[in-house]
Structure 1
């Protein structure tokens, strides 16, 4: 599984637009953190990160799935809108 995660991180890293997209997300939402993550039923792993608040998460870093909005979305199957 570690090889799959590393491959995903490398694949996201090859997409030039990702850094710009994460910057735009931070700017338009007013949030100081944005990430592209690989989310499964059991894990949340960052593949790309924009961290303007010194949260300290780097690509390859993991969060406890149950503490993430991704977990809530997977459980409730409802849209998330940031206004």
Structure 2
């Protein structure tokens, strides 16, 4: 992945901004982003932040210290209504580090089915997001997002 090229294209894409805003509206969460990643690198490519989460487009995180890395490895989405009520996540270091209670992240696949990155949302408060209706709507948003990114996601 050419991170700088992807950042230049994605960070100014108004269609991506619309999808991220809609993701926050759908889930009630205050922060959403698109991240690009490889096995050894993670970068926020565009963010929508109404809670001052503090992550900006172009910021990089240690890929090993992200839940997105787990999504990259498995290719499966993660939906967490409340970290404190989820045994698998309550002692995980990432929610504690970043201070979120609710989290959703879905993989973004290239045409060859390799993982381009993730579309995710977080919030310091719990939100009911793990429902069939929300899962379907977020899946459709992720597909729409990739149609916006496809030329830069190859």
Question: What band does the TM-score fall into relative to the shorter chain?
Answer: 0.7 to 0.9
Gaps of 5+ in 1: none
Between 9-18 and 39-48, the greater mean CA deviation after superposition: 9-18
Deviations 1:27-65 (CA, angstroms, capped at 9, x unpaired): 111221111111110111011001112121111101221
Aligned to 2:26: 28
Gaps of 5+ in 2: 80-128, 131-154
**TM-score in terms of structure 1 length:** 0.80
**TM-score in terms of structure 2 length:** 0.47
For 2:16 and 2:64, the matched residues in 1 are separated by: 25
User: Which SS does the other structure have where 2:4 is aligned?
Assistant: helix
For 2:14 and 2:75, the matched residues in 1 are separated by: 30
Larger Rg: 2
Confirm whether residue 57 of structure 1 aligns to residue 58 of structure 2: no
User: Which SS does the other structure have where 1:49 is aligned?
Assistant: strand
Map 1:31-50; keep pairs closer than 5 Å. 31-50=29-48
Residues matched between the structures, number? 81
